[in-house]
Chain A
Amino acid sequence: MASLDPATVELPTERPTRVTAVYVYEAPVRLWHWINAVSITVLAVTGYLIGSPLPTMSGEASAHYVMGTVRFLHFAAGYIFAVGFVFRVYWAFVGNHHARQLFVLPFWRRSFWIGLIDEAKWYLFLKSRPKKYIGHNPLAQFAMFFAIGIGSVFMIVTGFALYSEGAGPGSWQDHLFGWVIPLMGGSLNVHTWHHLGMWAILLFVIVHVYAAIREDIMSRQSMVSTMISGVRTFKDDDPD
């Protein structure tokens, strides 16, 4: 673990070896990742409970505020998620080049698609050894671009559109996001799409957690520890 000082950080991109350690995820990116993980968990649980509420409370209505609390948690976590996402977009501009990967799909770059097929082959057990990657591998980048890059925007836009219904006409939420409701064919449809979005993100989380652990064990670079320390290390000295 010799090369942690910034001078050598970006240099060995071509041939990372066992002694190479690349600082990939800067502290704000890591912090965002874990805040996102917590807020998505809270959003999914409370969101589900808004759609399918808990069993009825007995006694006077004035003695309880269950649905109110569930909704408050959902809205609070939603705000944290949205503010975090805006910050993350900002960091894509001012952070290192790895911070941009989440928002970019290099559609016209041939090597990206070749890499994606290569990585897919490894996941289909058609190859016995994957390539080395300093940032996200192409398959991961592809999944994250849609699930987090696009998915977050979709959930934030539909979420604030629904929130604007309570905030009322004239609120900033209504000005910025109210147009979504007629566009999607009414409030009920926005609810349904927002609900489906939750499930889509949940599917991503299942695959994401599995792939991260599997990569940590089976790939040629560090994975889970990298999202804690920010440093990517490699398990062999082979080229490519």
Chain B
Amino acid sequence: MQGLETFYEVMRRQGITRRSFLKYCSLTAAALGLGPEFVPQIAHAMETKPRTPVLWLHGLECTCCSESFIRSAHPLAKDVVLSMISLDYDDTLMASAGHQAEAILHEVMEKYKGNYILAVEGNPPLNEDGMFCIVGGKPFLDQLRMVAKDAKAVISWGSCASHGCVQAARPNPTRATPVHEVITDKPIIKVPGCPPIAEVMTGVITYMLTFDRIPELDRQGRPKMFYSQRIHDKCYRRPHFDAGQFVEAFDDEGARKGYCLYKVGCKGPTTYNACSTVRWNEGTSFPIQAGHGCIGCSEDGFWDKGSWYARLSDLHGVGFGIESNADRVGLAAAGVVGGAVAVHAAVSALKRAQHKGDTGRNTSNANGSSHTGDAA
């Protein structure tokens, strides 16, 4: 890939001063949670490495990932990602369309064989041979497989690509399937969220381009630097949780005072994401700060786990009714068993009273031979 422009050259060509460039490197290091000693490393990589092209495919999705991505503030998507990385194919954002766009896709795939990054927004439906999602006249499933074949790594943008999201919610009529279940021979970085946070998205891409490796992933394939803690762990309302101060209803005094939203179904304690630290829209706010509980959008199957306003998930998936939860099932079972025990005790007492004469006679009979028939 000799002779190709480096990131730095592209940035200079865009009129970015060296001073701004170094500022950007510091910001990126901070955004990635790296120390100041990494700043020269990032700068060096940017100055020497040729740009890595990113091909961005869209399957079954709502484009909320793209909407989030283009609003990245640190680093600015406009300055950094769109000019810095070669976002060579993104049918939603690119100027060209139709045959022209598809031609670019093939051109990049050939020129950068094994060296481009595939970013997938949305997922492929498998039913009816993938006919529920057609891109450029062909099933998206085929396009995904074709582009993934020579990719260096795959980024699964959002909950659609990572987990399936709403189109894969029960009963999933199109059999929408997360990317990692279709592409099994490439490293896949899952960046779940509906959508993921803009800075998380640009952070992941910038990390991969500057260090030329995928970020450290957790058990579920998510970058540890953004998904290693729950919303709850870093929530600014956490002191109210520990104190036992809860919003009991959305119009009560606790809601006005900003108490913990646990009792109105906040999924912060079971959701891994960076919302409570990075926040949204240039760090302005995030759902809990706005007074609504977390709905757990970056968790697998969050559509199918019952109400967003209840702590206990419903047990529909386990075979109980849609209204049931662990406490209802448990209380009902305890009632049935408790009732059965009471009846059993009553019958036992009656039986005992009935046989009292019997037993008295038998215990006097040391041999108890009259009972051997029963005991056998």
Contacts and interface: CB of A to CB of B under 8 A. Distances in A.
Nearest to A237: B366
Given A186-B301, A191-B270, A196-B329, 4 more contacts: A58-B245, A61-B245, A186-B300, A198-B330
A177 B196 CA distance: 27
Given A51-B327, A129-B371, A240-B376, A186 B270 contact: yes
Interface in A169-198: 169, 178-179, 181-182, 185-189, 191-192, 195-196, 198
B341 A238 contact: no
Nearest to A209: B341
Contact of B313 (A52, A66, A192, A210): A192
B352 interface: yes
Contact of B243 (A67, A123, A236): A67
Contact of B351 (A61, A125, A186): A125
B219 interface: yes
A128 B348 CA distance: 10
A129 B246 contact: no
B262 A53 contact: yes
A192 B352 CA distance: 42
Contact of B345 (A55, A61, A210, A239): A210
A65 B337 contact: no
A207 B312 CA distance: 26
A192 B315 CA distance: 8
Contacts of B333: 199, 203
A66 B240 CA distance: 10
Nearest to A63: B243
Interface string B228-268: 11100100000111111110100000100001001100010
A206 B345 CA distance: 12
Contact of B246 (A53, A191, A203, A210): A53
B64 interface: no
B252 to A, nearest CB: 9
A39 B270 CA distance: 25
25 contacts: A51-B311, A57-B245, A58-B245, A61-B243, A66-B244, A67-B241, A67-B242, A123-B344, A125-B348, A129-B375, A179-B219, A182-B300, A186-B299, A186-B300, A187-B270, A195-B312, A195-B327, A195-B330, A196-B330, A199-B327, A203-B333, A210-B341, A214-B348, A237-B367, A238-B375
Contacts of A188: 267, 270, 296, 299, 305, 313
A62 B240 CA distance: 8
A165 B267 CA distance: 14
Interface string B356-376: 000000110011100110111
B220 interface: yes
A50 B228 CA distance: 23
Contact of B334 (A123, A169, A185, A203): A203
Interface of A: 51-58, 61-68, 70, 123, 125, 127-131, 165-166, 168-169, 178-179, 181-182, 185-189, 191-192, 195-196, 198-199, 202-203, 206-207, 210, 214, 217-218, 235-240
Contacts of A239: 372
A206 B341 contact: yes
A206 B326 contact: no
A64 B329 contact: no
B311 A52 contact: yes
Contacts of A128: 351, 355, 374
Nearest to A55: B248
A52 B244 contact: no
A208 B28 CA distance: 61
B312 to A, nearest CB: 6
B173 to A, nearest CB: 21
B243 A182 contact: no
Nearest to A192: B313
B161 to A, nearest CB: 17
B352 A168 contact: no
Given A196-B326, A203-B333, A64 B244 contact: yes
A212 to B, nearest CB: 12
A56 to B, nearest CB: 5
A218 B330 contact: no
Contacts of B218: 169
5 tightest Cβ-Cβ pairs between the two chains A and B? A199-B330, A66-B244, A187-B270, A238-B368, A195-B326
B224 interface: yes
A131 B348 contact: no
A169 B228 contact: yes
B244 A57 contact: yes
B348 A218 contact: yes
A39 to B, nearest CB: 19
A188 B300 CA distance: 10
B165 to A, nearest CB: 14
Contacts of A237: 366-368
A199 B334 contact: yes
Given A192-B326, A214-B348, A236-B368, A65 B334 contact: no
Nearest to B240: A61
B287 interface: no
Contacts of B325: 192
B210 interface: no
B244 A53 contact: yes
A52 B244 CA distance: 11
B347 interface: yes
B187 interface: no
Given A206-B334, A210-B345, A56 B259 contact: yes
A61 B235 CA distance: 14
